[in-house]
Amino acid sequence: MTSPSLEESVDTSLANRATRLVVDFVELVRGRTTAPLILIARFIAYGIVLFVALLAVTTLVVIAAVKATNNFLPGGVWSSHLLLGVLFTAVGAVFWSKRLL
């Protein structure tokens, strides 16, 4: 019969190999399923944050444009509304003509 120390090392080696096999399988499954899902979730979360920030910046720029044109154009606030309305309509018309159907 073999010595107890040799039997222990065989059991330990077998346990280590089995553990390594399970750990490698779990890492493989995680790498193919969870990692892409985490990437998609990050893309969605950062996209929402970027959209909200862009919306806030756009609103502030429009407010600043109305205030600035109101100070420089003669007449009431209607003249700045008219100027910015024509400008936004022209930009919208350009985007509308470039749309893809």
Could you report the per-residue pLDDT of 16-36, keeping only the tens digit for each?
999 999 999 999 998 888 888
Q: Supply the mean pLDDT for the chain.
A: 88
Between 12 and 89, the higher pLDDT residue: 89
> Given pLDDT bands bounded at 50, 70 and 90, which one contains residue 99?
confident
Record the tokens describing residue 3, joined without a space: 């010595």
Q: Which two tokens stand for residue 76?
A: 């009431």
